[in-house]
Amino acid sequence: MKRKVFYFFSFLLLTFPLTIFAQTAPYINAAVADTEFHRITAADMDKIRTLKILFGSRSFGYNMRSGLRSLANKDPMYDILSAYHEYNVFGAGGDLSVVPVNAFDTLTFVHIMVTASPWTTRLYEMEDLVREAPHYFQDDINVFMIYYHGGDAGTFDLYSAKMDSLQADFPHIKFIYVTAGFEDSSHVTHNTNAAQFSQLVRDNYLGKVPLYDLGYILNDDGRCGNQYCPEY
C-alpha cells in the first residue's frame, strides 16, 4: 500500500529540496517508493500545496488523481486536490482554448487531458501552454510534468529536445522527466516499445535531472518484466 499511495504524488517531492529529497537530481523508482514514504512530513505537504503544477496525461493521470483522493480520505494531511481542475484538450480536438488563461489565479494543480496519439502531440500541446499566447504559463507555474503511459524509441529525440529546451529557457520551473508506464501482459508490443523509450530516458538523464521512473515503479524495478505487476 505504501508504494501505491506514494506513487501518485511522489513526483511533487522531486520539485524542491524538501525533507526527503535534497539532492539536485533526485530519482524515484519502486525501491524509493517502498522505503521513503514514511519520511514525508506535514511540512513537506504544506510546501507542496504552495506549488503551481501543470500536469499533462492520458488515463494514467486519472489513476494518480484517484490515489490522491484515496490517500487524502485516509489522512487529510496528504490532500493536494483542493485547488485542482482537469481540462480535456483531447476531447476538444486539441483546442487549447478550453484551458482558461487565468487558470492559475484560483488553481494550484492544472491537469491537461492531452491528445492521445501520436506520442509527440502532447509535447507540442504542453509546450504551447507554457510558451505561447494567450496562456504564457511560464509566468505562473513552479512544476511541469508530462505523463507517458507508453511510448517508443522514436519519441525520445523530440521528448529530449523539448524538455531540455524548456528547462534551459525557464530555469525557475522544475521540469520532471519521466519514463513510460506499462500495460498488462497482453499488450506485448506496447510494453516493448515503452521499455525502449524508458531505457533511453534512463541512459541519458539518470543522475542529471529529476527523474520519475514510472516504468520501474509499475514493474517493481524490473521484477515483473516489461509489464505492470499484478498489484497494479
Question: What digits encode the pLDDT tens for the residues 105-148?
Answer: 999 999 999 999 999 999 999 999 999 999 999 999 999 999 99
Pull the grid cell for residue 227. 509489464
**Residue 190, pLDDT score:** 96
* Rounded Cα–Cα distance for residues 109 and 14 (Å): 16
Strand arrangement of the beta sheet that strand 27-28 belongs to: 27-28, 211-212, 174-178, 143-146, 53-57, 109-113, 84-88
Give the global pTM. Answer: 0.92
Question: What digits encode the pLDDT tens for the residues 21-42?
Answer: 555 688 889 888 888 878 888 9
Task: Give how far the C-alpha of residue 194 lies from the chain's centroid of Cα atoms, to the nearest Å.
Answer: 16
Q: Mean pLDDT, to the nearest integer, of 186-202? A: 97
Pull the grid cell for residue 27. 530519482
Question: What digits encode the pLDDT tens for the residues 63-82?
Answer: 888 888 888 898 999 999 99
